[in-house]
Amino acid sequence: MDNKNIKLNKPALIILTGTWLYCLAAMLLPGSIPFAAVFQGIFIFLVVAHAIECILYRKILKGIHEYFWVMFCGILFIKAKVRRM
């Protein structure tokens, strides 16, 4: 199955991108980001949770691109992929 057929929710992707960028900024520049410790914890949680999802759903993931999508948006990608199967 090709990734081009998988449709993801655009507003959810925008929110996820903002969250990832803010968490990454909190990790790299903790002195200049308000509530940096909270977002550092969220960053660690997201990385661990999405890594677990990659392990759990490795049978339906094909190719490195799909693993990157799972690391970015997690279960949203898995649900969209399963819907297309």
Written in H, E and C, the secondary structure of 45-61 is HHHHHHHHHHHHCCCCC
Question: Do the domain assignments include residue 1?
Answer: no
Question: Do the domain assignments include residue 2?
Answer: no
How many domains, in total, are found in the chain?
1
Question: Do the domain assignments include residue 52?
Answer: yes
**Res 1: pLDDT:** 45
Cβ partners under 8 Å of residue 18, min gap 6: none
- Domain membership of residue 52 as a residue range: 9-84
The whole-angstrom separation of Cα 49 and Cα 3 is 22
Question: Do the domain assignments include residue 4?
Answer: no
Q: What is the mean pLDDT of residues 8-32?
A: 93
Question: Do the domain assignments include residue 50?
Answer: yes
Question: Do the domain assignments include residue 71?
Answer: yes
On whether the pTM is more than 0.75, the answer is yes
Question: Do the domain assignments include residue 25?
Answer: yes
